[in-house]
A and B are shown apart, each in its own frame.
Chain A
């Protein structure tokens, strides 16, 4: 058993075939299990790219990534999807909820692909909504929720399949200060339950709340 939740070795990412953009240049890091880490840096310097590669949403052009000891760089698309489903939960800046589904259905949709019993999943979806304090919004559509509420639903959804790792890409970026505070309280509570949290932000104030800090500039760790 690896003690690292996430490890990268010389991670490279180059975009484009003509004019190439070197988004990541040999990034190596280790994130321990159960830690609360933050990747900080200015916009456009590779923070989100790093998070997307770690989460298996995109493929690196060089180097290796280990999630819970599994080298995901060499996995085929199906295996990678399995790892994403079992090990990782995502929270995006723009919430990315499905507009035509209710808050509860959004969470249940994320559970659809897990091989678990339906009754268990249904109870769990309600419990997750309760965890983020939105039981009364179970049947509300995203258009009926505030920004802070949307992000809390997104956080509940990221926990749908009980993944050990949560990757969050500027989860408070679109929120007012009150909502930001609410969301941070929920994230910290989730961390206390034993989840590994990796957080991308360009806010030093939020970054100061993390246990581990990775600063990235021009695609390289400082």
Chain B
């Protein structure tokens, strides 16, 4: 017999109460795990999108808001608000290595919305480091054909040579791109000139991705670009941080929700421990009569709370892990989350995350057990024995 064995036996003495208390901690920790990784995954997704864009500076129309910035990163439809000649003027600035226009348009395949992007094919191919899976890239800037991302192929049964109708006109699929793990996989690309003509637009583009030869002097280039055009110009990092700002408030909301669950679990532990102490006054008295010191009684009850935390952390992590996998497809359909693209919201197993969750769970449980344990240790042997 040792303290750990005594505590384990006590823990399981009232199985129903043990299970319900454990369930409280499990739910609290599981929601924390699921929501924490949702936030982390969304952040990782947006950061990846920013990296995929591969631009040092982004030039947009004069609308500066996080949701527009997010649309740039996610490659979604944006108003065509930048005159095309600006593209050339920016490219002419000394130190600018590329000025790549994007015309992002809303279109559909078989009634399902997709993004159609008008591009300057040579610039784009070099800038995005695309590889062709099958077919051949646009022959020239006026080719009446499209290139499709690999993600659309299985979804719509596409193949090179097949036709995709846009605005009542059939476009042969010239090439299918190799998988890029970016938004390019779910986009259709068309030469810029053709896109402008088919969609009846004037010579405007949605945004321009700019690369420079010296990223330590982006401020200087931004000033130069603003000299050329009165537009919204920001660095990739600024764009990213403005989107992460939305995520910050989303994160905060999610953490508050899981925080409430954790607080409820903590009170569950306090309640269970207080009841246990009331029921076990006689046991406390007997232990004290046999020479057990106050500190030892405190230790016994803290250990019991801590064990709840350890078990609750493990089960909470497991449940959070499973729930996030089961719920990931549902979460991705949620409007709130979908504004951030199509992130993978499932928890990715990692030892540091598991240890963090267990640490947090044990920590909360021990803190919750403090008051009950203190109350137990304050009982004198006779108080404990007499009051039964």
Contacts and interface: CB of A to CB of B under 8 A. Distances in A.
B10 interface: yes
Given A98-B286, A112-B3, A112-B6, A52 B291 contact: no
Contact of A82 (B288, B289, B291): B291
Interface stretch (A65-73, A83-91, A127-135): A83-91
B294 A161 contact: no
Interface residues of B, number: 25
B125 interface: no
Nearest to B12: A100
Contact of A81 (B283, B286, B292): B292
Contact of B385 (A92, A110, A161): A92
A58 B290 contact: no
Nearest to A94: B388
Contact of A57 (B6, B282, B287, B381): B381
Contacts of A77: 293-294
Contacts of A111: 1
A113 B381 contact: no
Interface stretch (A101-109, A188-196, A197-205): A101-109
A78 B294 CA distance: 7
Interface in B269-301: 282-283, 285-296
Given A57-B381, A57-B382, A58-B380, A96 B282 contact: yes
A189 to B, nearest CB: 22
Contact of B291 (A100, A101, A105, A161): A161
B10 A100 contact: yes
B294 A114 contact: no
Contact of A96 (B13, B286, B292): B286
Interface residues of A, number: 32
A161 B291 CA distance: 9
Contact of B290 (A78, A105, A110): A110
Given A57-B381, A96-B385, A105-B9, 15 more contacts: A57-B289, A57-B385, A58-B382, A77-B294, A81-B291, A81-B294, A82-B293, A97-B286, A101-B6, A101-B9, A105-B1, A108-B1, A110-B290, A112-B292, A160-B290
Interface of B: 1-3, 6, 9-10, 13, 282-283, 285-296, 380-382, 385
27 contacts: A55-B289, A57-B289, A57-B381, A58-B380, A59-B380, A77-B294, A81-B288, A81-B291, A81-B292, A82-B291, A84-B289, A85-B290, A86-B291, A90-B289, A96-B289, A98-B283, A100-B9, A101-B1, A108-B1, A109-B6, A109-B290, A112-B2, A113-B290, A113-B291, A113-B296, A157-B290, A160-B290
